[in-house]
Each structure stands twice: as C-alpha cells, then as structure tokens.
Chains A and B, each alone.
Chain A
Amino acid sequence: MTLAVFFGCTFIAFGPALGLFVFTIARDPLRIIILIAGAFFWLVSLLLSSLIWFIAVKASDPRDEPLQKGLLIFGVMFSVLLQEAFRFLYYKLLRKAIEGLVALSEDGCSPISIQQMAYVAGVGFGLMSGAFSMINLLADTLGPGTVGIHGDSQLYFLTSAFMTMVLIFLHTFWGILFFHGCEHRRWWEITAVVVMHLAVSGSTFCNPLYVGSLVPSYLLMATAAAWAYLLSGGSAQNLWRFLLCLRSGPSPQPGS
C-alpha cells in the first residue's frame, strides 16, 4: 500500500465533507461550535452503544459463533437507534439555544436558523461517524501489506472510502430531514430517517458483496438529498436557474 492509496482514500472519503466544511461552516464560529458539539453527541451515543455491546459480549460465550454474530447485529442496530435518539436530544438542545440566541439578540432574530443548525449538526454527526470508521484504515494504508492476500476482497480500502463518503452525506441529509420533522411535528419523517439509517447499516451486512451495500446506499442518498433539498425550499426551478447562473428575480440575466 502506498501513499497513493492513502491520499486517494482520504480524499474520496473526506473530500466532499471538507469542501462542505470550508465553504459553508468554517467562516462562522457559531457553526463550528455546533459542528463540534454534534460530533460530541455522536461520540457519546457510540460510547453508550459500545458499552452495551461490550457487556453483552462479556456475558456470553466467546466461542459460540452464531451468538457472537447475533450480538454484533444487535449491537449495530442498537447503535443506530441510539444515534438517532441522540440526534433528537441534540435537536432539543439546539432548540433551547435558539431561544437563548433570540433573547439575546437586538432585533429578535437568531443569528442562525434551525435549518442551518440542522445542516451543521448533520455534518457534525457525519464527520465523526466517518472519522471513526475510516481513520484507522487510513493509518494502515501507510504501512506495508497487501490487501486481500488471504482471499478477502482486494477493494477493501476503496469501498470503505466510498461507504464513508456516502455515510457522511447521508448523515447531513438525515440531519435536515430529522430536524424538519421535529420542527413541524411530522413523525413520519423522523421514522423515515430511522428506517433509512437501519437500512443502510443493515445493507452493510452484505459486505463484501459490495453491490448489495454500496448501490442501495447511494440510491438512498440520492433520495434523501432530493427530499432534503425540497424541504429546504429548493425546487426544480431553483435548480434550473442556478445551473444556468440566472439570478433570482423577475428578469433573469444570463451568465455572470
């Protein structure tokens, strides 16, 4: 494994997220704080779910393979549910924060809206999730070794990088969907997010049959992206005007 693999996988996995961070989050200190707090909430949820899994594993027979596999499946599902629960808790916290920000501002509006917070929180969750999945792998790519020498898939690093990227995007969109559902009391949106998350995590059980995990994940990401875009006020017309570099207004001007 070489530096090419390292840099390639790093940029596949984290490139889009880095772009999102640099262009939308890095300028505003409030957003950076929300991002890091989101990462912290994801971390705490992971901690609790690892604790449960660890206790279950220690209490069971380590030689019983199907049981261990079952415990792992249980661990994954429980972790997903706990992540969504912590997303809800984070929503509650940010709601209170907005009230505080509004109370403190001169003109009665908060410097950041709940939709922006939803986006940043989603990126925070996604970045931390991606980092925890990918960083150890990236450290290993710098060392010596041959991928798949014992018969495993040779595409391990590449597919991990792609999976990480899609997961970061998914968390971003889920953040927007989830917060929107909480704001407007649409429980079906929240359930849809949870079901999507369970589906994506469940599809990774097909690995190394990557077509069973990557393809559905990317399709779900496209769906979630479109849905989040529509919920954020986007429409096909907006997109068309953006692509044609038209300005919004009564008389569109070509190019700029």
Chain B
Amino acid sequence: MITFMNNSDSEEEACNERTSLMSAESPPVPSYQDGLQASEAGEAQARRKRRTGSNRSPNNIADGEMSDSGVPVRESALENEEEELTLKYGAKHVIMLFVPVTLCMIVVVATIKSVRFYTEKNGQLIYTPFSEDTTSVGQRLLNSVLNTIIMISVIVVMTVFLVLLYKYRCYKFIHGWLILSSLMLLFLFTYIYLGEVLKTYNVAMDYPTLFLVIWNFGAVGMICIHWKGPLQLQQAYLIMISALMALVFIKYLPEWSAWVILGAISIYDLMAVLCPKGPLRMLVETAQERNEPIFPALIYSSAMMWTVGMAKPDTAARGLSQQTWDAAEDGRENHRSPSHADSQMSETRSPVPTRPITSLEELEEEERGVKLGLGDFIFYSVLVGKAAATASGDWNTTLACFVAILIGLCLTLLLLAVFKKALPALPISITFGLVFYFSTDNLVRPFMDTLASHQLYI
C-alpha cells in the first residue's frame, strides 16, 4: 500500500471522509502494506507487515506528483497551499521511491544474470508442493494453480494470525518473530549469497575472513534495522534484504507457479486493503482504536527523521518496521515450518509516507518522506528477476518490465493523491509488469530480432 501522509497542522482540522480511516489525532498509523503477499520461500513470512505507522500522520495523502496527469484539484483555498506543498514534494516522493525500487531490481537482475545458482532448479519450497515437470500443458497449469492456492492460503492464514496476535496484544511474540526473521535473512541468506558469488567468480576466501565479513554485515544490519542507524545505511540494508528475499523466491518458485502467484498476490492485495473486512484494513482500524502505531512491518522509509523538536520520536515507526521486517524474515526463514511462518514480507508492501512527527512550528521545513513496504520491493524484483531469468536471454523484456513497474508505481502514487487513502501498491504495477512481460516476450522479441538481423531501425 502506498499512502502519503501530510502531517501539516492545517490538515488536522476535522475528520472528513478522507481521513476517516485514520484520525488526525491518532498516533501514526502504519500504512498498509500489501502485505498479504505470501511469503513463499520463507513463506511463512508474516504477512502482517503492512502496517506501517506513520507517526501521527493522518491519512492525508499528499497529492503526489501527478506531473504527467491532471492533478486532482483541491477545492478549498485553504488547502491550496497544502496542495502546493504536496505537489512540490509529490514528484520528489515518486523519485524517492523510484530510486530504491530501481536499485533493488538492478541488484536482482545483476545477480540473476551472473550467478548461475539462482537460476538452477534445486527443489521447491514446501508451499509449492506440486511439481511442474509434467509433459502436458493442462497438467502443468493445474499444478501451478494448485501451488498458487496453497501459497495464497498460507499467506491469508499468516495474515489473520498476525491480526489476531495484534488484537490480543501479543507484542513480544511478534517482536521475537521479527528478530528471528531478520537474523536468518541477514546471516544465513547472506552467507549463501556470498558463497555463490565467490564461486561464480572463482575467488577464494578463508573462513576467518568470511566469519568477520558476515558477522559485521549481519550485526550492523540488525542494529540499523531494529534500533538506530544512519538513514541511508538502513535503506541500503532494507534494499539488500529485499533483493535476497526476491532471489530466494526466484530460485525456488517453479516457472508457471511464479507468474500465477504474482497475479494472485496482486488480487489478494487489492482485496485485503480495500475490502471492509480485509485483514489489513482491520489491522489499521484496531491500531486506530487503540491510538497506537500499528505494528511495523518491513517498511522502507525514505523520510529524514528529524529528532529535534519532535513531538513523538519516530523510533516507534522504526521499531515497527524492524519488527515487521523480522516477522517477514521469520516467515521466510521458517519455510520449513509453516506453522510459525509469518507473512511479514507480505505485509511490508504498502508504501506509506513517513512523516516526521515534528509539528510545523517546531520545524520549518520538514522532509516528508514516503514509505513503501518491503513486500512490494520483493514482488517487483521477483517479476523483473523472473523476466531476466526466463526470457530467453532477452534484455528487452527485462527493460520493458522495469519501465512498466515504474509506471505502475507512478500511477499508484497518483491515485493515492486523488483518493487520499491507503492503497495497495502491487496491483497496477504487477498487472503492467505481467502484461508487458508476456507481450514483449512473445510479440516484440520476434519483431526486434528480425529487425536486428536486417539492421533496420524503427
């Protein structure tokens, strides 16, 4: 989900229908994340991530960039200045999301194209038990649909479990889950990744050096994500773990199942965020009732957190994001034991604008940031990575999917500014991505290959 939160005081006048989901006085409500993404590999990742609380920011969605489309026009002149500010910051917000999404995709595509390990078939996760090695097309399709059903059900169960945990205030459990998840991701998956990269480039590394490198990387990562650290380092770590997670998904999901799962996740995301009885929506409402920030899922935050003169320190949101991250990690890591898999990853999908909690009089210029759930990063990267891995060596397909996802993100932010409520970040981007993948691979590729063989230019 993507939400922009405009924390200016002028917006807190009354609860209109735009802010009905989150009251102006409530503590920052975590944004929804589409979270319901299934944590596949780790599948058990906690889906609940999505709640990103932005500190105290009511759900005012900033108007966002809308540069390439008509901007929603605000009625009241009172809001004009606010809108102007939003618009001024809106395009910047889009770029603040473009850059990390692009970086994550670049890491995934570079790894897929160079390290052979992630394109080899080495078994499947237990969440996708049906094999796709059958000869008939119908059987293969059926198997992939069954795999998808199992995966989505796991995700739904995880999310509901998370909502129940949250409802009954089992915070310690959630925290522990998140920490375990991030531990596994930062240490185990990084160790495997580093091992494969070293193998690919035939570089020898002794165990003491390896231990030192992995220990430092993991320990600093845990601190940055779960406690305090420079913002850019935290962002870098979140990008890296999203890329690692996406690589695991790319490796362990069978081909057709991956595409069907991507499609199903988008639909589920849409329903979970927008339907009145959706788990994410219930989570947000519970958090609002309790006036506390929703348990943070893995959230990528692009805002500067001003600690000077802040009414409420943003550490809560940070802690939340760390927790959700952990949950996601847990979910992922425990893919062997689905019983305590959380769908954290899925939860961290909604982008949410983070607002520093400064009040306007305390700080003249606040950096309004935007938050995007890590689950969104992961599934975008899975789509582009799969395109890079399976499109018969064609780079055009990867490029087309990349542009399609960015445009989808742009449109989602545009809709965010129009509707001013939490929106799922997956559906539009994944739909565009899937459409462009299949059409570029099947239609554009033969055309461009024929043109290239005759050296024709269009």
Q: Does A79 contact B (CB under 8 A)?
A: yes
Instruction: Please indicate the chain A residues that have their CB under 8 angstroms from the CB of B88 in the complex.
Output: 111
A83 touches B458 (CB 8 A): yes
Instruction: Please indicate the chain A residues that have their CB under 8 angstroms from the CB of B403 in the complex.
Output: 36, 39-40, 43, 128
Instruction: Please indicate the chain B residues that have their CB under 8 angstroms from the CB of A106 in the complex.
Output: 80-81, 84
User: Given A43-B400, A132-B448, is A97 in contact with B67 using a C-beta cutoff of 8 Å?
Assistant: yes
Q: Does B174 contact A (CB under 8 A)?
A: no
A37 and B69 CA atoms in complex are apart in Å by: 10
| Among candidates A43, A51, A160, residue contacting B436 with C-beta atoms closer than 8 Å | A43
B70 touches A99 (CB 8 A): yes
A206 and B399 CA atoms in complex are apart in Å by: 29
Q: Does A182 contact B (CB under 8 A)?
A: no
CB-CB contacts of B415-458 with A at 8 A, as 1s and 0s? 00000000000000000000010011011101110111011111
Q: Does B124 contact A (CB under 8 A)?
A: no
Instruction: Please indicate the chain B residues that have their CB under 8 angstroms from the CB of A205 in the complex.
Output: 454, 456
- Residues of B within 8 Å of A, CB-based: how many? 49
Q: Does B63 contact A (CB under 8 A)?
A: yes
Q: Does A156 contact B (CB under 8 A)?
A: yes
A136 and B400 CA atoms in complex are apart in Å by: 13
User: Given A104-B87, A163-B457, is A136 in contact with B68 using a C-beta cutoff of 8 Å?
Assistant: no
Segment among B36-44, B90-98, B250-258, B259-267 that sits at the interface with chain A: B90-98
A80 touches B87 (CB 8 A): no
User: Given A30-B91, A36-B407, A97-B70, is A207 in contact with B456 using a C-beta cutoff of 8 Å?
Assistant: yes
- Within the complex, the shortest CB–CB distance from A132 to chain B, in Å, comes to 5
B69 touches A79 (CB 8 A): no
CB-CB contacts of B223-252 with A at 8 A, as 1s and 0s? 000000000000000000000000000000
Q: Does B285 contact A (CB under 8 A)?
A: no
A220 and B443 CA atoms in complex are apart in Å by: 31
A37 touches B95 (CB 8 A): no
CB-CB contacts of A93-131 with B at 8 A, as 1s and 0s? 110110111011110000110000000000000001101
User: Given A29-B95, A75-B447, is A103 in contact with B73 using a C-beta cutoff of 8 Å?
Assistant: yes
A28 and B90 CA atoms in complex are apart in Å by: 12
Instruction: Please indicate the chain A residues that have their CB under 8 angstroms from the CB of B399 in the complex.
Output: 131-132, 135
User: Given A32-B98, A54-B447, A100-B73, is A137 in contact with B452 using a C-beta cutoff of 8 Å?
Assistant: yes
B457 touches A133 (CB 8 A): yes
Known: A34-B67, A97-B66, A200-B457. 8 other contacts (CB 8 A): A47-B440, A50-B443, A50-B446, A72-B450, A76-B451, A100-B70, A131-B399, A204-B456
Identify the B interface with A (CB < 8 A).
63, 65-71, 73-74, 80-81, 83-84, 87-88, 91-92, 94-95, 98, 393-396, 399-400, 403-404, 406-407, 410, 436, 439-440, 442-444, 446-448, 450-452, 454-458
19 contacts between A and B (CB under 8 A): A29-B65, A29-B67, A30-B65, A33-B65, A33-B67, A36-B98, A37-B407, A50-B448, A54-B442, A72-B456, A96-B69, A104-B74, A104-B83, A105-B87, A106-B84, A133-B452, A135-B395, A164-B457, A204-B456
